[in-house]
Chain A
Amino acid sequence: MTLDQAKTREEALDVLDGYAAETREDAKLQRLRRPLVKSYLLETVPHVRTEPPLESIFTRRGHSLLPLDDTLSKIKRNADGKIIGLLEKLLPRHPVIYTTEKSQEMDAWVRNLVDASPALDNLWLSGRAFDQLYNIILATKPIHRFGRIVFQHQSIFELNGAPTPEPQTTAEEDAEDQEEPEQTLQAQEDDDNCVPERRSTRFMVIDRLDRLKTLLPKMREIYEPLQCISQLRFPARGNGGHDFYHNGKATNRSDSFVDHRLHVKFVLQIYKQATETTETAAWHGVQKSNLAADTSGEIILGAPVLLQFKQPLSQAVFDQFIQATFRHKRNVFRLWGNPIQLGPRKVHVYALDRHLWQPLYLEITDRQIVVIVPRGTCGNSIHRLVTNVQQFLDPEVTVWIGDRSYEDLIQSASTALKIYED
């Protein structure tokens, strides 16, 4: 059976489960490789805003949703009628796309889908968030299992280079659907492309968890970019694992889709809890007094979000960061705003998250970024900011929501998960 033929939830998910097992078997026997099952973890809007109709978002991109039940739909490409995947509303606010199409095609398609809709965003897993997920892996998985971690950092605001990240090669994207993409790193190094003269790290390690547990802290002491995890593998219950990427993609390298879906859901639950805790703590605004006749305001103050750099930015990096971010329409932080200069290394920006079109008030200095989050602005904007600061500015940045560390918030989110759903 194929996804085209599936008529029920059971049949559709069975197709993906069977496909995962067969793909794993193919890999073992070194038969012709097929694309792996992948999930794209998405986010819509906070509970205070109206949930967007997903159907119309897909329709605008030339696709239809064919419901199998209340939460699961097939995604049909209207041009040729092909079913390219499934969309499951796995948690409120968090739809997930499952597909067996090639990464190269689906990555671009999902990117375009998200880019075209302010009501839709990727998940943004920062290095700090991955650290907590990594701790969960160490605490819960057998230590003889293999872990896989990719670290990525590019100091794109240093002087010797354009303030744009180096694109990932398509070779790597293609290779992602193969059993392991490691060989492509060598291919990248041998590339004839010009290599900008600035710090740029892409580093992958695969080793047993007990070795990683011992070695990683020592490695991090001597090389800061290793603070910035951009991909992390959860060992599966059986063979293989589930690779999670910083932009909310997850690749199933296990033989079970059921196990993959459980891991996707686990990460989503932690993320959702952390996002909502961030919003509760950080949103601010005024609520009317409980006295109808009273015009006084009872204010709900949001705690400030603080991203503190390990070392102060140099004047050149600070200037380049402000210039590149707020003077260019297309900037990696996807921020929009008009900096008000308060000193050589201090600006206030009443900014917009250019993707979600939601305001954020920022104070940026050479030592920190302070964010005030107006009520209704999605906590995902904070996750994206943290992810981008770690990847492009300071891999060792520490983050606080009020007086609570971001890591603590994510760690608490994982322990607060309900065993049974309501």
Chain B
Amino acid sequence: MKIDPAALIGDPLYQCNLLLWMLQPSTGITVKPLLHQAGYTLRFIEPKLPLPLPLSNKLNAEALPIAEEAEPDMIIRGRQTDYVILECKCSMFGYQPGQNDTSIRQCRAFLLQVPQVFLEALPGIPRGDTTTTHLLYLSRHKQEVPQFTGVQAIAHELADKAYQATPHGLLTLDISAGSIGLRKTETHGAIPAPLASALPSSFTALQTIPDADTDPRPLYYIPWMPESEPIPDEYNYNSFANRILVWAAAEIGPARPPCDVELETELLLTKATNDFYQYWRNTESKRHVRNRARDLLKKEILKADPKAVLKPLDNQRSGWKLTLADANMQSRIVEQFRKWQSEVWITPPYLQQQELLPE
């Protein structure tokens, strides 16, 4: 289960959760609340940032493709109407004119989020004459390669063609003296002023690595989601299954047998993911996870009691109607959920495409 901290800091899921911990008021025992101390609060997770049509049409006409509805990992706001668009990356990217892969199209769309564009993409947020925007990437530190030249080259190209680009910078996660922390590098562009003041030295420790035998990751606010990890990570599947089972047990436990209990997988997944499931965009991934969750519940219930009566839910809802015959059956099922041990219960859809076929 243990993960190498050097690999962990490259995991965008860890990076996102670390940012969320940094945004929370806390004692700093788990993660230093650096962003909170700098006055930032969370505004959006994965909001869509569509560009105004005249702008996107002109970009297309000039063969500068953009992500049509780019979704940064999160947007935070400072004490004023200063917004920071945050994007986590396993590794940064280079750029040569003519290259147009996903990261580059996305980067263009982010860079173009100057205040007047940004306020059109998120028209519900309060407006101010002094609204500012800033694009900030977070990635794993790599001493040996220039990490920010790609973003800078894309920004230069936009400027050369008379487009406005928002200020931009890169912070990297690094390991030093037994801690995971943020590294600020002069060649990595501009850091928003309130955050820059909170980073007095080139390395600011965020989280202590307890010892070589201990996985340093904190509890995650955003749990695993399909395609969120650079490499499959057993912890993610294990904790995800536990979250589903705990919410299913929370339905079964307080019931008063004999009675029926509905285990609707959509609802359980929504609760298990702190509501993030409803924002997953990939419908194939959603269906895959929903089916696997339904199978997991069936398997564990029947393991606890082979005679348990499980009927599919009606009205096209995914899940089971479980008939609890008596308190013993109820107790056995809840105990079986508790005893569940890590096993291969889910395979990321991008690793096993055939599982996407309808069952």
Decide whether A and B are members of one complex.
yes
Decide yes or no whether A359 CB sits under 8 A from chain B: yes
Chain A: which residue is nearest B218 at the CB level?
A363
A375 to chain B minimum Cβ distance, whole angstroms, is: 8
Instruction: Tell me if B124 and A340 are in contact (CB < 8 A).
Output: no
State the CA gap A246–B23 with chains docked (Å): 35
CB of B43 within 8 Å of the partner chain:
yes
B218 — which chain A residues lie within 8 A by C-beta? 363, 370
Chain B residues whose CB sits within 8 angstroms of the CB of A337 once the complex forms: 242, 246, 338
- Given the known interface contacts A306-B30, A402-B26, the answer about A342 and B47 at a Cβ–Cβ threshold of 8 Å is no
Binds A, one of B180-188, B207-215, B287-295: B207-215
Contact across chains for A286 and B276 when beta carbons are under 8 A apart: yes
B-chain residues with CB within 8 Å of residue A358 when the two chains form the complex: 250
In B287-345, the 8 Å CB interface with A consists of 334-335, 338-342
Residues of B within 8 A of A168 (CB): none
Query: Measured between C-beta atoms, what is the minimum distance from A44 to chain B in Å?
Result: 13
CB proximity to A under 8 Å, residues B191-209: none
Query: Which residues does chain A contribute within 8 Å of B245, judged by CB atoms?
Result: 338, 350
Known A-B contacts A296-B45, A338-B338, A402-B26; A286 and B124 likewise in contact (beta carbons under 8 Å)? no
CB neighbours (8 Å) of B44 from chain A are 289, 296-299
Q: Are A342 and B217 interface neighbours, CB within 8 A? A: yes
- Digit string of A330-346 for contact with B (CB within 8 Å is 1, else 0)? 00000011101111111
Q: Which residues of B contact A291 (CB under 8 A)?
A: 122-124
* In-complex Cβ contact of A342 among B123, B214, B249, B254 (8 A): B214
Q: Does A374 interact with chain B (Cβ within 8 Å)?
A: yes
Residues in chain B near residue A343, CB distance under 8 A: 2, 210-211, 213-215
Across the interface, which residues of A come within 8 angstroms of B47, CB to CB? 289, 294, 296
Closest approach, in angstroms, between the C-beta of B158 and any C-beta of chain A? 25
- Is A351 part of the binding interface, using a Cβ–Cβ cutoff of 8 Å? yes
* Assembly CA distance A304 to B43 (angstroms): 18
Asked if B274 is at the interface of the complex by the 8 Å CB criterion, the answer is yes
Minimum distance in angstroms from A361 CB to a CB of chain B: 5
User: Known contacts being A284-B274, A361-B219, is A403 close to B250, with CB within 8 Å?
Assistant: no
A109 at interface by CB-CB < 8 Å: no
Nearest B residue to A365, CB-CB: B210
Task: Please state if B246 and A352 are interface contacts (CB–CB under 8 Å).
Answer: yes
Contact of A346 among B20, B214, B238, B281 (CB under 8 A): B214
Q: Given A291-B124, A306-B27, A342-B214, does the pair A301, B239 have CB atoms closer than 8 Å?
A: no
CB distance from B204 to the nearest CB of A (A): 18
Interface residues of B in 48-95 (CB under 8 A from A): 48, 71
A422 and B210 alpha carbons, distance in the complex (Å): 51
Q: A304 to B24, Cβ gap below 8 A?
A: yes
Which residue of A119, A286, A346, A372 contacts B275 across the interface (Cβ within 8 Å)? A286
Q: A296-B279, A342-B1, A342-B214 are in contact. Are A402 and B24 (CB under 8 A)?
A: yes
* B348 at interface by CB-CB < 8 Å: no
For residue B260, CB closer than 8 A to chain A, the reply is no
Residues 268 to 320 of chain A near chain B (Cβ within 8 Å): 284-286, 289-291, 294-299, 301-304, 306, 308
Q: Which residues from A are CB-within-8-Å of B231?
A: none
Establish whether residues B1 and A297, one from each chain, have CB atoms under 8 Å apart when the complex forms.
no
Q: Is B39 an interface residue (CB 8 A)?
A: no
User: Interface code A359-394, partner B: CB below 8 Å = 1, 0 otherwise?
Assistant: 101110101101010100000000000000000000
Question: Is B235 an interface position by the 8 A CB rule?
Answer: yes
Q: Which residue of A lies closest to B242 (CB)?
A: A350
CA distance A372 to B219 in the complex (A): 8
Rounded to whole angstroms, the CA-CA distance of A341 and B123 in the bound complex is 45
Map CB proximity to A onto B242-277 as digits: 1 under 8 Å, 0 otherwise: 110111011001100000000000000001001110
B: interface residue count bin: 35 or more
| Best-surrounded residue of A304, A343, A346, A363 (most CB of chain B within 10 A) | A304
Q: How far is the CB of A96 from chain B (nearest CB, A)?
A: 23
In the complex, the answer to whether B246 meets A351 with C-beta atoms within 8 Å is: yes
Contact indicator A352/B275 (Cβ below 8 Å): no
B43 touches A301 (CB 8 A): no
Is the beta-carbon distance between B215 and A357 smaller than 8 angstroms? Answer: no
Inter-chain contact B45/A299, CB cutoff 8 Å: yes
Q: Is the CB–CB distance between B23 and A301 below 8 Å?
A: yes
With an 8 A cutoff between CB atoms, is B177 at the interface? no
Q: A342-B215, A343-B211, A361-B219 are in contact. Are A290 and B124 (CB under 8 A)?
A: yes
For B242, the chain A residues whose CB sits under 8 A away are 337-338, 340, 350
Interface residues in B15-30 (C-beta closer than 8 Å to A): 20-21, 23-27, 29-30
- A402–B25 contact, CB under 8 A? yes
Q: Does B42 contact A (CB under 8 A)?
A: yes
* Distance of B35 from chain A, by nearest CB (Å): 11
| In the assembled complex, A58 has its CB within 8 A of some CB on chain B | no
A92 to B42 CA separation, bound complex (whole angstroms): 32
- In the complex where A295-B48, A306-B30, A337-B338 touch, is A350 in contact with B274 (Cβ < 8 A)? no
CB of B254, distance to nearest CB on chain A (Å): 4
Residue of B nearest to A116 (CB): B256
Residue A404 CB within 8 A of the other chain = yes
Residues of A within 8 A of B29 (CB): 306, 308, 367-368, 370
Q: Which residues of B contact A402 (CB under 8 A)?
A: 24-26
- How far is it, in angstroms, between the C-alpha of A151 and the C-alpha of B26 when the chains are bound? 30
Chain B residues whose CB sits within 8 angstroms of the CB of A165 once the complex forms = none
Is B46 an interface residue when CB atoms closer than 8 A count as contact? Answer: yes
| A348 contacts partner chain B, Cβ-Cβ < 8 Å | yes
Contact B27 A284 (CB under 8 A): no
A341 vs B2: C-alpha distance when bound (angstroms): 9
- CB within 8 A of A285: which of B211, B243, B275? B275
Assess whether A304 is in contact with B26, with CB atoms less than 8 Å apart: yes
A285: chain B residues within 8 A (beta carbon): 274-275
Bound together, the chains give a CA A298 to CA B44 distance in angstroms of 5
- A342 and B254 CA atoms in complex are apart in Å by 30
Which of B33, B46, B243, B338 is in CB contact (< 8 Å) with A297?
A: B46
Q: Please give, as numbers and ranges, the residues of chain B lying within 8 Å of A342 by CB-CB distance.
A: 1-2, 214-215, 217, 235
CB < 8 Å: which of A118, A297, A326, A372 contacts B254? A118
Given contacts A294-B47, A340-B235, A352-B250, contact A304 B30 (CB under 8 A): yes
Chain B positions within 8 Å of A119 at CB level: 254
Which of A326, A342, A359 neighbours the largest number of chain B CB atoms within 10 Å of its CB? A342
- 20 pairs, CB–CB < 8 Å, chain A vs chain B: A119-B254, A286-B279, A296-B45, A296-B279, A297-B44, A297-B279, A301-B24, A301-B221, A304-B30, A336-B334, A337-B242, A340-B239, A341-B1, A343-B2, A348-B239, A350-B246, A354-B253, A357-B253, A368-B29, A370-B30
Q: Which 3 A-B pairs have the closest CB atoms?
A: A343-B214, A296-B47, A286-B275
| Other 4 A-B pairs with CB < 8 A, given A306-B27, A402-B25 | A291-B124, A295-B279, A340-B1, A345-B214
